[in-house]
Structure 1
């Protein structure tokens, strides 16, 4: 049993590694071709190679489930073609035991996937954002008006922070801050700064202009005549500092896709969104998807099992590989479709994240049951 498991593991690991290297090479090559148009004095060829190297963990994170599916199909189809699966079955290993062996083989890959999801991918994405900001001057999730954050000041005031441009993940250009009085439901003051820095929960502003409202806006607007008194005062300061709930991690979260964040940072950002009554459903779904990511690998190996277990008299390895690739593409599309449909219809986050896995696992178990049921009569007749 142990020898058979080691042999199966070596075959699946070898083919999966080959598939990963091929897919990584293809995606990296096409991405490099697409990036060649951006080469200039600031963005050199070496910078492009460094950027592509940083994106390898993210690509590996995306490609690992499909690579495991295709690699397992290739390995199992090869074993079936060489009648080695038949030998395992004759030696007393049932389909159930074979499936349990495949799940045990997947456990080390699940551990690697967890480390990749929690450490390598978030770190690589942060570094990629830094390089993109410093070299290309681009931001992935920036709106035309910049980045917007909302936070409470005290029980009766809150502020809205608008960051127009990020020079790096700590240095900011052009900040506009709006402060509101929640009790009177009116604007209090506006703070603008040419430069800012965020460090240790302190937002430091340089070259500051403070425009403070001196009137009751609702009363003034309700009057037909122009106001006689001064409506606002303007104060200029060289520097202004104040504590903020906006941290570097939360600033980084605006540059990263929720699926690319670590669980700790994702929970921190969800807490920030909920404290400020902002939409957090997309990030909660991402949290469920991260939790189910190792489980997806089990689903992939289970999907590969019925494809590989089918016995063909004349080869059929190429057809099995094609079916495996097709199933991988369909699963990827179904995963994205479930995400979009779940977000549009406000479905429970756990259902949006787990539904494709549940459906795929059900189909795989059904296929294994049908294969096992079909093989039993023929075995009985042969024994007669």
Structure 2
């Protein structure tokens, strides 16, 4: 029994790995083709587009993980069924429940490997990719670390702690340095938003450093035409996918504490848990299709079924998220609803083979 379980686990893992590799290559090709539209902006050329898609591919790869598990399980176990190996395994006394347990063991092993990759490697790579693209398109020197952004514009150094949707900034600092390296001017604004072709800074404190004296001025509001180009704002926007789970949790608390809309980020927070869980649900969902087509249907049919189910789950997941944001549903409910529907369908289908 131990050898049989090991054989099933190895088959599921190898099949899922191959499926993930093929899906990733296909996704990268489409991502690169889509990125060609941005070629020609500033210093952003084909080589930069290629590098950018390589930076951001780990994030998309993690998103494809559940679908790859579904397709890989269908093909690997389907191949065993096509060669009558599943019939022999069941003849040895292994029940459908035993096959499901072996498949889930394989899924848990894959999740253990994929989870650190999706929570640390992929967000860090995506942040680096966005910073690289932003620097290439704008020509500005930019450094991004988590939510913090540093930018240089001539003799000015701009530090932004939080970039929010709707062209809003929080905790903005502008430092002007003389050619000799001496601080000439410092500005702090509690918030800023873009409107009327200029940035409107609120809660402003200005500090002027003169020879032997320092002048401080407080303003309720101030206009600043040149801060950050609004054309680059979409790239500067803090994306949930570029944040680790702890950083995302802290950011949700920060937004709620400042009475800002946190639904988008809270939904992404709960979706971080549903991604690995959905891989296990895809495993459960694949088993009935494998046993239901032991005598009929080949690899092509199983591949088609896997693609259809995977696409269905993807679109239902997206639909649930959008509907939840539009109608103000609880983010936890929006994130878990597609998972619950497919889990119920998989368990219901498995009852036919008990």
The normalised TM-score by structure 2 is 0.75
**Higher mean C-alpha displacement, 73-82 vs 4-13:** 4-13
State how far apart, in whole Å, the 1-side matches of 2:201 and 2:111 are: 45
| Alignment partner of 1:189 out of 217, 220, 223 | 220
Q: Distance in 2 between matches of 1:144 and 1:268?
A: 20
Ranges in structure 2 where 5+ consecutive residues have no aligned partner: 140-162, 173-188, 205-217
* Segment drifting more, 295-304 vs 314-323: 314-323
Match of 2:192 among 155, 162, 175: 162
Contact 1:80 1:310 in 2 (8 A): no
Can you give the 5+ residue segments of structure 1 that lack an aligned partner in the other structure?
151-158, 165-172, 180-186, 198-250, 373-384
Instruction: Count the aligned residue pairs.
Output: 296
* 2:202 pairs with 1:177: yes
The Cα offsets for residues 159-199 of structure 1, whole Å up to 9 and x where unpaired, read as 752266xxxxxxxx9672356xxxxxxx96223557779xx
Contact 1:253/1:261, CA 8 A, preserved across alignment:
no
Query: Which residue of structure 2 lines up, in the alignment, with residue 137 of structure 1?
Result: 138
| Structure 2 equivalent of residue 58 of structure 1 | 59
Residues 2-31 of structure 1, C-alpha deviations (whole Å, 9 max, x = no match): 211221222222222222222211221122
Aligned: 1:45 with 2:46? yes
2:122 aligned residue: 121
Change (3 A) 1:254 1:133: closer
- Alpha-carbon distance, 1:43 to partner: 1.7
Deviation of 1:33 (Å): 2.3
1:161 and 1:176 in contact (8 A); partners too: yes
Q: Supply the distance in 2 between the matched residues of 1:260 and 1:70 (Cα, whole angstroms).
A: 27
The equivalent of 1:274 in structure 2 is: 256
Residues 254-285 of structure 1 show CA distances to partners (whole Å, capped at 9, x for unaligned) of 63432442111111211211111111122222
- Label 1:100 to 1:314 Cα distance change in 2 as closer, same or farther (>3 A): closer
Asked if 1:331 corresponds to 2:313, the answer is: yes
What does 1:268-347 correspond to in 2, within 5 Å?
268-347=250-329
Matched residue SS, 1:55 = helix
**What is the root-mean-square deviation in Å for CA atoms of aligned residues?**
3.2
Say whether the 8 Å CA contact 1:259–1:289 is kept in structure 2: no
